[in-house]
Amino acid sequence: MKLTMAVLPWVIIASLLWAGLFIRPQPVGSTIEPAALENRDQFYGLARLPGGELLASGSYGKVLLIGTDGTVSRLPTPTRNTLQDIAAWDASHLVAVGNDGVILRSTDSGKSWTQVQDVPRSAVANKLNRVRVAAGGLAIATGEMGALLISHDFAQSWQRLREEEDVAWNDVAILDGGHLVLVGEFGRVMLGNVNGQDWQEVSAGVDASLMALNFRDAQNGVAVGLEGAVLQTRDGGLTWQVVDVGLHEHLFDVAWLPAQQHWFVTGALGRWASGDGSDWHRGILDERDLSWHVRALPVDGGLWLAGADLGQWDGRRWSRLQP
């Protein structure tokens, strides 16, 4: 008995050592794939493909494809950085931009993505807030530290349009003839062109940061920003008038609805406002769901909104896309 008790600890140690060296654990069952859409997700960009499918970009490097039948699938991307915006030239060519200066491009409808190398960077900050595209492979991305980047080849290569500066450009409108209108922090508005020349800063009449703008034609546009700021121009951005739409919450995006001939603005706490430029009315998407939204994409029958969640608004009812 004494001999057994003396040897037993060494037997146990030897057995554990042998198991650690020679026994390999084997997986049991199959790997659980996370759902494409999860409650923790936040989305910042929306784009529509010619066939009617939608693309949504957001946190964790996610890009979702929302089919015309409502099915949701996740497209694989090579980054975990938050993607702040996404755009499509056609059914094949796509671009997405986001945190840490990441730019992704796809030539096969998003089935595969490539991270663009040699993107101009700042030593201070590199978040890209928005990307706008136009015919012929033109793309312009805006972001922190004065980032204003341009591509002429469907996002394969990028150059600076302006030198780095201590301001965040939040959005850009590409108008006829290559004219550009930039909006950013502290109510700054800048006019220029795709050649990077003839820059002209104009007064917006507000100090609040401007977050987005949209034009329904070369002359008529609306910009929105923090503290309920809404501005309107009728001369291509040369002059701006402050519009009171009855909101004081932060506003993050503006869209033109051709069918209704109305502007639509969206922002914090589920607030929205809509109007033709002179007559505006406002409301809340859902009293039970005061989520923020940073993108509004017009579609047949209403809009898709992206932010703390994804969903559709038909002017009367908010339908959140469920995980």
33-66 pLDDT, tens per residue? 678 989 899 999 999 999 999 999 999 999 999 9
Half-sphere exposure of 33 (CA within 13 A, CB side): 5
Instruction: Kindly indicate the confidence band of residue 3, based on its pLDDT and cuts at 50, 70 and 90.
Output: low
Q: What is the pLDDT of residues 185-209, one digit of tens each?
A: 999 999 999 999 889 999 999 999 9
Query: For residue 22, which amino acid is it?
Result: F
DSSP states along 41-103 = --EEEEEE-TTS-EEEEEGGG-EEEE-TTS-EEEEP-S--S-EEEEEESSSS-EEEEEGGG-E
Give the pLDDT confidence of 211-251 residue by residue, as tens digits. Answer: 999 999 999 999 999 999 999 999 999 999 999 999 999 99
Architecture, CATH, for domain 167-310: 7 Propeller (2.130)
Q: Would you say residue 19 has pLDDT above 60?
A: no
- The predicted pLDDT at position 323 comes to 84
Q: What are phi and psi of 107, to 5 degrees?
A: -120, 10
Closest CA to 266 of 221, 218, 308: 308
Question: Hey, where are the domains in the chain?
Answer: 167-310
Q: Looking at residue 197, what is its pLDDT?
A: 86
pTM of this structure: 0.89
Give kind and range of the element (H or E) at residue 115. Answer: strand 114-115
Mean pLDDT, all residues of the chain: 93
Segment 123-181, tens digit of pLDDT: 999 999 999 999 999 999 999 999 999 999 999 999 999 999 999 999 999 999 999 99
Pairwise pLDDT comparison (16 vs 261), residue with the higher score: 261
pLDDT at 31 > cutoff 60 = no
Q: What is the pLDDT of residues 258-317, one digit of tens each?
A: 999 999 999 999 999 999 878 899 999 999 989 999 999 999 989 999 999 999 999 999
For strands 138-143 and 128-134, give the pairing. Answer: antiparallel
